Amino acid sequence: MQSLTQDNFDPTLKASPHPVLVDFWAPWCGPCKALAPVLDTVAAQFEGKVGFAKVDVEEYTEARTRFNIKGLPTLVLFKHGEPVARLTGSRPAKQIALFIDEHLQAPAQPAAAPSRTFGGDAARKAACIARLRQHLAAGAVRRSSQTYWDGREGSPLGCATEAGVHEAPPTLGIPRPLLSLVEWLGSAHDSEQEAAEFVLRWLEALPVDRDARGVAADLAADLLSHPQAFDLRQADPEVQRLHAELVTLHRADADGQAVTADAWSRVHAALRAHAPDPKDRGPAAALARALAEAAAPLADDAAVINGLVNAAMQLAAARVRREQQWTQDDALALQKVQRQIIDTWPEFKGHAMRDKVEELAPELGRKLKAQHRAKQAAAEAAVAMLMQRTAACA
């Protein structure tokens, strides 16, 4: 896979006769390393149709700001040198391949989601709910943070609409950031059943013939303002001021007011200045980094709201780890136990994995479950806000 630098990035992508999937990564990023062999597999599948390249953001540092890279790894698909779509986080080969296929087949300008939910048609809402129930009963629902439908199985919203990431938003009458958030929250559950049931509750709560375009931005402001999600009591006064400004920007975005790109960029850069070292995992740096990643308009990047919810979950778990006086030795011991479980009982995931850790290493298991409960509490707070904003959309 070709490595791109600041010097050869633009010339290489503009000269490519094919779309190019670029992997933005860093040497210290564990998920990035895990994704590398997966990308090699996908690259072989699309040989002659799609180019593959990678960018070390520690070397090409300006790439983070230029392409609004919020988390690593991030995969960005380029056509004629311009970014057209992205995936954040390590993904299985099948999901990356579906992502590429959908965008290879997509029109140059995908249809915009209509401004009214379900196109104002109550029968369409009922049909979406019925399809999801039918596919759940048939075992065709798959947990996925990316909306997809391959004709036989799919993500919860892919099954509800029998459509992919481009066609599902117009069917539901919602913007992509909201679609992405619902799928992402569903994928955070431990089973396909739980994920589908969550999405069913959300579909039932979504009123017909409403304007849902401001829901995700309002939710972002709600979450940023939640004291248990983003605890600013010990934060630097300047970070507190930037946090208040960030909430104001998202409220304005939700109300349909024009927010300039310079306004977002200025807040993002100021917050990043409070966490200059990406290896710094201290609470102050983690908070500033999380806020900086939320400094972007949701209409431009569906990953922003997902990253914000994930940041709230990770910050909650980090607070518990500090209270537990969690050490690097604890982390290494947990990795060893989890590897043993994966090698011996590969079917153990989610609840079953945590229960087995507690059986084999009781103290570690209790600590792990406490961290998980903190993350779940943050996720449940986000879900409650989402349901409230969904039901109240005008």
Residue 68 contacts residue 298 (beta carbons within 8 Å): no
* Of 29, 128, 159, 393, catalytic: 29
Distance CA 310, CA 320 (A): 16
> N- to C-terminal Cα distance for the chain?
48
Cα–Cα distance, 67 to 20 (Å, whole number): 15
Q: Residue 30: CA atoms inside 13 Å, Cβ hemisphere, count? A: 2
How far, in Å, CA of 357 to CA of 377, rounded?
21
Q: Distance between CA 369 and CA 339 in Å, rounded?
A: 17
CA 205, 210, 212, 215 torsion: positive or negative? negative
Q: List, in order, residues 6 or more apart from 138 with CB less than 8 Å away.
A: none
SS3 annotation, 166-181: CCHHHHHCCCHHHHHH
Name the catalytic one among 32, 128, 159, 393: 32
Task: Outline where the chain has alpha helix (H).
Answer: 9-15, 30-45, 62-66, 93-105, 122-137, 156-161, 168-172, 176-187, 192-205, 215-225, 237-254, 261-272, 283-293, 303-324, 328-344, 350-360, 362-392
Q: What is the 3-state secondary structure (H, E, C) of 310-335?
A: HHHHHHHHHHHHHHHCCCHHHHHHHH
Contact 179, 209 (CB under 8 A): no
Gap between the Cα atoms of 269 and 278, Å rounded: 14
**Tokens at residue 385, please?**
């806000």
Alpha-carbon torsion, ordered 102, 104, 109, 115, to 10 deg: 0
Q: Is 32 among the residues known to form the active site?
A: yes
Q: How far apart are CA 331 and CA 177, in angstroms?
A: 34
DSSP 22: E
**Catalytic positions:** 29, 32
